[in-house]
């Protein structure tokens, strides 16, 4: 069995035989908790992740850190600044740190992150912390694959509730107002609490209406508030389990993962249809306006589907 680091690299490259290995690991896994930390660049997510990891290590938990940051310069497979922020953690055998950059393909990032979680889970990691910049659909997909999502805000980024604009409000299970040492932090906490008290979020699934999203303030640089944040994350998980909402969440995670993979399989077939000659004929028909592109697309999908049933 390859090491975790090697396993993740193999999965990223899609090396032959990796799918079978991952399938076995997946079936034997399911113990680790996955926590997403998201927010704009510079809000202190990496510093916060390091602070959380220290709290978790002090409790005796093993920690995996996946930093997904398309903006940070990557050097030797790791994000340089994060290595420095996490330098005390890198020598700890109970901590695994890995950076992942955006892959070109649709859904590639959430797929790579999910495979990495499978590998970490199999290695006996208790908690995986995934850091993402909450921007694209890929990042939102990564957060959808977490048990608990922490949205990080800071004071002084224009209006108090930047997360609202970024569409992050809906995905938060826990709010963290970091850089509480800077002026305006209390105002952000107050604004968020007020907003959250207006009622349940429209996007919250019905079985999660009972969860009241807490707002925790932190000074990540000093580790201040990290205990309280870890507690809020624990509380959310305990609530998911006690309320039974965990089943809906794990179901949603499975649905997202299956659809993402199915989409890739379909795309591969669409880009490289086994029946190349048939596809060429469709293209010719469109070029000469004998049929329209939608009819041709339907024809292509029908061919791919036909191929799929033949193979199964
Ligand atoms: N004043 C202050 N600065 C912080 C705090 N947490 C992080 N920073 C600083 O904010 C900058 C961005 O931090 P980083 O963790 O890289 O943010 P990320 O881009 O969200 O991962 C760094 O210079 C940190 O030292 C904090 O609680 N207070
Ligand atoms: Mg970062």
* First and final C-alpha spacing in the chain: 29
Is 181 near ligand 1, meaning CB less than 6 Å away?
A: yes
Is 51 near ligand 1, meaning CB less than 6 Å away?
A: no
pLDDT in tens, the chain (312 residues): 678 888 888 877 777 788 898 999 999 899 999 999 998 888 999 999 999 999 999 999 999 999 886 555 444 444 555 655 677 788 888 999 988 875 556 667 788 889 999 999 999 999 999 998 876 677 777 777 899 999 998 998 654 455 565 566 678 899 999 999 999 999 889 888 888 777 655 556 666 778 989 999 999 999 999 999 999 999 999 999 999 999 999 998 899 889 888 888 888 888 776 666 778 888 999 999 999 999 999 988 888 777 655 444
3-state SS track over 216-270: EECEHHHCECHHHHHHHHHHHHHHHHHHCHHHHHHHHHHHHHHHHHHHHHHHHHH
- Per-residue pLDDT reduced to its tens digit, 218-230: 999 999 999 999 9
d(CA 120, CA 7): 9
Is 225 near ligand 1, meaning CB less than 6 Å away?
A: no
C-alpha distances out from residue 279 to 268, 273, 312, Å: 14, 7, 22
List the residue whose alpha carbon is closest to atom 22 of ligand 1.
Answer: 44
List the residue whose alpha carbon is closest to atom 19 of ligand 1.
Answer: 42
Task: Among 38, 43, 44, 154, name the best residue to mutate to test ligand 1's pocket (greatest count of ligand atoms within 8 A of Cβ).
Answer: 44
d(CA 270, CA 300): 7
d(CA 291, CA 297): 10
C-alpha distances out from residue 124 to 68, 96, 128, 212, 237, Å: 21, 11, 11, 31, 19
Pseudo-torsion of CA 102, 221, 183, 212, nearest 10°?
Answer: 70
Task: State the closest ligand 1 atom to the C-alpha of 42, by its place in the atom list counted from 1.
Answer: 19
Is 46 near ligand 1, meaning CB less than 6 Å away?
A: yes
Is 226 near ligand 1, meaning CB less than 6 Å away?
A: no
Pairing of strands 78-79, 74-75: antiparallel
d(CA 268, CA 272): 6
Task: State the closest ligand 1 atom to the C-alpha of 50, by its place in the atom list counted from 1.
Answer: 15
Q: Write down the residue that tokens 């030797």 correspond to.
A: 76
């Amino acid at each position: 069995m390859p090491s975790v680091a090697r396993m993740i690299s193999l999965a990223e490259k899609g090396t032959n035989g990796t799918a079978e290995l991952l399938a076995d690991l997946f079936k034997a896994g399911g113990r680790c908790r996955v926590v997403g930390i998201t927010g704009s660049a510079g809000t202190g997510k990496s510093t916060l992740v390091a602070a959380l990891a220290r709290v978790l290590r002090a409790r005796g938990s093993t920690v995996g850190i996946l930093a997904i940051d398309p903006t940070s310069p990557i050097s030797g497979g790791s994000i340089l600044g994060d290595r420095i922020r996490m330098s005390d953690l890198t020598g700890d055998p109970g901590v695994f740190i890995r950076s992942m950059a955006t892959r070109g393909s649709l859904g590639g990032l959430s797929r790579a992150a999910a495979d990495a979680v499978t590998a970490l889970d199999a290695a006996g990691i208790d908690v995986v912390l995934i850091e993402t910049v909450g921007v694209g659909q890929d990042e939102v997909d990564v957060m959808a694959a977490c048990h608990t999502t922490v949205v990080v805000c800071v004071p002084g980024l224009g209006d108090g509730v930047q997360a609202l604009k970024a569409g992050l409000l809906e995905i938060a299970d826990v709010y963290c107002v970091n850089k509480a040492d800077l002026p305006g932090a209390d105002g952000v906490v107050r604004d968020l609490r007020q907003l959250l008290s207006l009622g349940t979020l429209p996007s919250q699934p019905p079985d999660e209406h009972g969860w009241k999203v807490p707002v925790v303030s932190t000074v990540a640089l000093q580790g201040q508030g990290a205990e309280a944040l870890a507690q809020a994350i624990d509380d959310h998980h305990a609530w998911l389990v006690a309320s039974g909402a965990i089943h809906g969440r794990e179901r949603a995670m499975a649905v997202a993962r299956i659809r993402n993979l199915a989409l890739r399989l379909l795309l591969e077939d669409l880009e490289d249809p086994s029946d190349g000659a048939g596809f060429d004929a469709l293209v010719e028909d469109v070029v000469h306006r004998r049929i329209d592109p939608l009819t041709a697309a339907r024809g292509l999908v029908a061919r791919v589907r036909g191929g799929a049933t033949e193979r199964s």
